[in-house]
Amino acid sequence: MKKFFKILKYAFVSILAVLALAFSYIFISNKIFIGTANKKNTDYLSLHKVQITDSIPSKLFDDNFYNSDIILLGEIHGYADNQKLDKELLLYLNKKLNIRYYIAEMDSTNADKLNSFLSKPVKDEALLKEVVTAIRKRIPQQSSVELYRKWIEIYDYNQKLADSAKISVIGIDKSFTNDKLTISRDSAMVLNLEDYIKKHHLEGEKFYGLFGFFHVLQKGKDTTSVPFAARLKNKGRKITSFVSYTLDSEMYLPKNPQFPTPPDEKVDWINADGPLMLVKGINDLKELSQPNSISLFKLNAKNSPYLDSQDLISVKSRMFGENIIPNDKTYTTDYFQYVFLLRNSKALRKLD
């Protein structure tokens, strides 16, 4: 019996040693991949950054930005501050460029309901709640109190506009009734947008929209995985893409069968510095930002190191999504031109 317990003890110690080595390997490899702050990058970024408070400053935008046909914001779903950014970008672009058409990662049925809500003389909050609840089916992490309040605020803003400037929504996602179509979601979204533009004679108009991170990338990993923005660009549309990364932030993770979810449906271990998601070069942004803030960085100004670097676009995901490993001859600004850093963002909250 003593021999048995001795063997059991050695086995237990061996298992602990293996686990410790595995965790050490992951920790060290994470640190190596992310890297330390790079002076060349931070010197550039310090001259091309703004902090976001109540609205979007115009400091980082130039003629190249304003001449875009379509402007996109890409998020990792579940963070509350992205809803704030989406609203502020939409309002800024409406005021500055008279952008009236919000393209959305939702199907046309929900978009029609949202347009009905926006156009009514009195707020139909029950209708808006119906739309926000329906979004759970496609993007459960986006269906939230913050999404609901965002559209309430857009409604209030819209009421003060002339009819020629009012915002409306174009839903371009595949509906669940046609999910069996053989084409990809991104391909379907392009076709739906192009059909809508043609049907409603909107050629020459500018558009803005919020999508999941992958959809706004202007290059794909290979020919079989081409994002929405890349497909639009390949059709000759001039695209500007923003992406949003987080540090020290909480994500809303609704209960689901794929991943363990805490009782409060919030997790704080899916940020750009690990442990389950890693963004190469994120420490450059961290060094130039403060806790509890939202910062915007322009990556494509003259002499930008991101014009011939793969920092911020090289991404490893240990659980959610897929790794992004850029092709040898592509660089960060081939994929996106601006990046938001959210620090200490709260998680979205479930709408009851």
pLDDT tens, position by position, 148-164 = 999 999 999 999 999 98
pLDDT at residue 44 greater than cutoff 70:
yes
pLDDT of the residue at 223:
55
Tell me phi and psi for residue 28, to 5 degrees.
-65, -45
**Using CA atoms, how far apart are residues 148 and 94, in angstroms rounded to an integer?**
20
Residue 258 burial by CB count (10 A; 0-12/13-18/19+): exposed, middle or buried?
Answer: exposed
Fold topology of 37-343? Rossmann fold (3.40.50)
Q: pLDDT (tens digit, 9 = 90+) per residue, 191-208?
A: 999 999 999 999 999 999
Q: pLDDT (tens digit, 9 = 90+) per residue, 88-139?
A: 999 999 999 999 999 999 999 999 999 999 999 999 999 999 999 999 999 9
Helix segments in 98-165, DSSP class H: 108-119, 125-134, 145-159
For the residues of 18-73, what is the DSSP string, one character each?
A: HHHHHHHHHHHHHHHHH----HHHHHHHTTSEEEESSS--STT--HHHHT-SEEEE
pLDDT at residue 19 greater than cutoff 60:
no
Q: pLDDT (tens digit, 9 = 90+) per residue, 290-326?
A: 999 999 999 999 999 999 999 999 999 866 567 888 8
The residues facing 209 across adjacent strands are 72, 103
**Using CA atoms, how far apart are residues 32 and 35, in angstroms rounded to an integer?**
5
Q: Are 318 and 49 in contact (CB under 8 A)?
A: no
pTM of the predicted protein model = 0.91
Domain ranges within the chain, ordered by starting residue: 1-34, 37-343
- Residue 23 pLDDT level (bands cut at 50, 70, 90): very low
Mean pLDDT for the stretch of residues 46-67: 96
> Which has the higher per-residue pLDDT, 3 or 262?
262
**Using CA atoms, how far apart are residues 140 and 253, in angstroms rounded to an integer?**
8
pLDDT of the residue at 100:
98
pLDDT of the residue at 15:
59
pLDDT at residue 230 greater than cutoff 70:
yes
